[in-house]
Structure formats: C-alpha cells, structure tokens
Amino acid sequence: VRAYEAMGAGQRERVLEEALAVPADTRTRLVEVLRQARDFAGAARLLEADGDDAGAAPLYEQAGAPLLAAEAWLRVGEQARAAAAFERAGSLEQALALYQALGARESLAHLLGRMHRPMEAAQVFRVLGNAHAELEMLRAVPADDAQRPEAVLRMCELLDAEGATWRALVLLADGIKHATGAGLLLLQAEQARLLQQLGLASAPEGAAAAEKAPPVVDGYGYLKAIPIFDGLSLEDMRDLYRLARPMLLPAGTTVLEKGAKGMGLVVLLEGMVSVSTGPGPDARQLNMLGPGAFLGEISLILDGPVSAHVRAHTVVRALRVTRTDFQYFLETHEAAALRIYRLFTQSLAERVRDLSS
C-alpha cells in the first residue's frame, strides 16, 4: 500500500493498465490495495473491467466521479441511484429522463426547478399537494413569460386559500401592469372577485387597504438569517427555502423529543415553544422561544439524539427542513455545501469554546 501511495500519477496509471492483463485473482488483491491507498477511482476501474459495476459505482462516488458512478449504476439497473448521480454530475437531461421513467415525482419537480422550468415544476408540486413549493415555483415564472398570467392566477388561488387575500391583491396589481390581451382580462376578473370578497369598491381602495394590512411572515428571512446559511447566493437560498415544509402545531404538541433521533431544522414563524430538560412534570424549563428562533440545525449535518425537549406552548406555525431534504440540497449544490460546512465547523468550534470558558 505504501509503495503505491508513493508513486507518481504516471506510475500509478501504468500499474492500472498492466493490472488489466493479470489473472483475475491478482487483480482482486490489487483492488484491495487501491482501496486501502484510497485510490477509489483506480479500484473502480479495475472492478469495472471485471464487469463488477455494482462494486465500481459506489467507489466512483467516493472518488468524486458522479458521472462514471451514474453510468455504472445504470448498467446494473439501479435507475434511482443512476438518476441521482447524473443530477449530481450536472447531466440534468439524463437525470430528468430517469426520474420520469421511475415516476419519482418529487425528485422530478425539484430537478425541473433547477433546470429553470418553473411552470412544469409547479404543476408537479401541485399534483404532490406541496403548496409551499408550488408557490415558490410559480413566483419564479418571469414577468414576460406567456404563462405568467396563469401563474399569477394560481398563486392568488393558493394565497387566498391560506387567508392571505391581501397578498393576492398586491400580486394581481403587479401582474396587471405587465399583462395584455386575454391574460389581462383574466387577472382583472380575479381582482374584481377578490375585491368583492373583501367588501372593497375599487382597485385603488384595495391597494390602499393592502398597504395597511399586517405583513405575512413566510419564513424566508428567518431561514436566511441562520448563521450556517450566511453567504449563500440568492438562487441557492430560494432552492433551500423551496425544500422547507410548513408545519401547523396545536398547543401542547411535542416539536422535538429529547433523546429521539434528530429529524432536521425547525424555524418558528408564529407562536411560542417551551424548551425543557425533558417531557416529565419535574422537567426544568430552559427557555421560551418565539418567531425567528430555530431548532435542530445540528441534526442537519450530525446524526445524534435531540438534547432538549421542545413543546408548543401556543399554536405554532413553523417551517421544517428535513435531514433527507437537506442532504439532497448539499449533494446538488456543491459550492453552497462547502460554505455551509465551513460555517458549521466555525459555529461548532465557538460553542465548544463557550462551554470550556
């Protein structure tokens, strides 16, 4: 192993080429040498030459060669793994075709969003019943797109269903400025319907009332303010926000259970939660947290039990980013992942220093 590690790149390449001509059992032993030397790509090449694509694929992934991994997964019929690897490699059309063939609608919707096909992504999210992600994709439809009026109408429908009719009116007013023809007529008709619903006589009256309406917290600003997401680009932040899932928790609901496996990040939008040493009546209360507070961010990256018990003190509206969804984000946003890991280690080091002082 040490002799191989000491070789230059050219020497290692010659060893690999010569290995293709030796007996299979000798090549098998060499594969183990390469594994121990952490030449995962070299080991994968030898396994691939022997037709062991199932063994080669994960080694290509360890080597940071997702395209080669995808092709190997595809040869052994692992379409889901192949699709994910193609997506990580940036071969989005190949990933799209596989997700479509598999009927993997959630992966398909997120990929369509990454491919800047927001209307198609929104339609898939609608089928999935994910109104939050659908709304985010509809927002991304450009103002000059022929489908923008359709997108605005659907956004208004979603906002009205949430009780955010004022936001729908603001959206309509902006949409009407850019619309023409049949699209303009549809938006004006929807505006009239919502004004009537609110008991308002005209669009100017609606605009004046909308300005006085209390702002609705959607959580994007709170998510953006979390230290480990500092420095993420606008596009990366919107992608991360789209992965968040809204939660509505009645008072008394357990938000995080002490000792249970961490399930991801929770960002509070409305209401209060109680943080205590445990679930029992003798537990000591540690803190009360409200809008803007966040919990469980460590579990996004480190696998471990929850250190405190968190219960909804009032009705709570929140956003949750699951560990699974966050891992998908890291795998498909390499530059963002590097920034997050750097900030996470800095944050962890600061916590250790605080505990030691």
Please report the pLDDT score of residue 283 as a whole number.
87
* Residues in Cβ contact with 47 at an 8 Å cutoff, skipping those fewer than 6 apart: 31, 53, 55, 56, 59
Three-state SS string over the chain comes to CHHHHCCCHHHHHHHHHHHCCCCHHHHHHHHHHHHHCCCHHHHHHHHHHCCCHHHHHHHHHHCCCHHHHHHHHHHCCCHHHHHHHHHHHCCHHHHHHHHHHHCCHHHHHHHHHHCCCHHHHHHHHHHHCCHHHHHHHHHCCCCCCCCHHHHHHHHHHHHHHCCCHHHHHHHHHHHHHHCCHHHHHHHHHHHHHHHHHCCCCCHHHHHHHHHHCCCCCCCHHHHHCCHHHCCCCHHHHHHHHHHCEEEEECCCCEEECCCCECCEEEEEEECCEEEECCCCCCCCEEEEECCCCEECHHHHCCCCECCCEEEECCCEEEEEEEHHHHHHHHHHCHHHHHHHHHHHHHHHHHHHHHHHC
* 76 shares a domain with 21: yes
Q: What is the CATH number of the domain that holds 203?
A: 1.25.40
Pseudo-torsion of CA 37, 38, 43, 44, nearest 10°? 180
* 335 shares a domain with 233: yes
Contacts 24+ apart (CB under 8 A), 210-219: 210/166, 210/167, 210/169, 210/170, 210/173, 213/166, 216/164, 216/166, 216/167, 217/269, 217/270, 217/291, 218/269, 219/244, 219/267, 219/269, 219/318, 219/319
Strand order in the sheet with 294-295: 245-249, 316-322, 264-270, 294-295
Q: 247 forms bridges with which residues in the sheet?
A: 318
Please report the pLDDT score of residue 208 as a whole number.
64
Q: What is the CATH number of the domain that holds 242?
A: 2.60.120.10
Please report the pLDDT score of residue 24 as a whole number.
82
Task: Show the tokens assigned to 279.
Answer: 């679930």
Q: Give residue 163's domain range.
A: 108-212
Q: Do residues 262 and 296 touch, judged by C-beta distance below 8 A?
A: yes
* 241 shares a domain with 199: no
Of 49, 71, 103, at which residue does a domain stop? 103
CB atoms within 10 A of CB 164: 17
Of 191, 212, 233, at which residue does a domain stop? 212
* 117 shares a domain with 26: no
* 140 shares a domain with 40: no
* 201 shares a domain with 131: yes
* 133 shares a domain with 41: no
* 297 shares a domain with 246: yes
Of 66, 81, 103, at which residue does a domain stop? 103
* 340 shares a domain with 244: yes
Report which of 276, 293, 295 is spatially closest to residue 285, judged by C-alpha positions. Answer: 276
Report which of 227, 210, 217 is spatially closest to residue 300, judged by C-alpha positions. Answer: 227
- Taking the C-alpha atoms of residue 240 and residue 248, their distance in angstroms, rounded to an integer, is 20
- Taking the C-alpha atoms of residue 25 and residue 28, their distance in angstroms, rounded to an integer, is 5
* 255 shares a domain with 189: no
Length of the chain: 357
Q: Do residues 309 and 254 touch, judged by C-beta distance below 8 A?
A: yes
Please report the pLDDT score of residue 323 as a whole number.
94
* 206 shares a domain with 246: no
Please report the pLDDT score of residue 56 as a whole number.
97
- Taking the C-alpha atoms of residue 299 and residue 159, their distance in angstroms, rounded to an integer, is 32
Q: Tens-digit pLDDT profile for the chain (357 aa)?
A: 889 889 999 999 999 999 888 888 888 899 999 999 999 999 999 999 999 999 999 999 999 999 999 999 999 999 999 999 999 999 999 999 999 999 999 999 999 999 999 999 999 999 999 999 999 999 999 999 999 999 999 999 999 998 888 889 989 989 999 899 999 999 999 999 998 888 876 767 666 666 666 666 789 999 999 999 998 999 999 999 999 999 999 999 999 999 999 889 999 999 999 999 998 888 899 999 999 999 999 999 988 899 999 999 999 999 999 999 999 999 999 999 999 999 999 888 887 787 776
* 155 shares a domain with 94: no
> How many domains, in total, are found in the chain?
3
* Residues in Cβ contact with 141 at an 8 Å cutoff, skipping those fewer than 6 apart: 118, 119, 122, 147, 148, 151
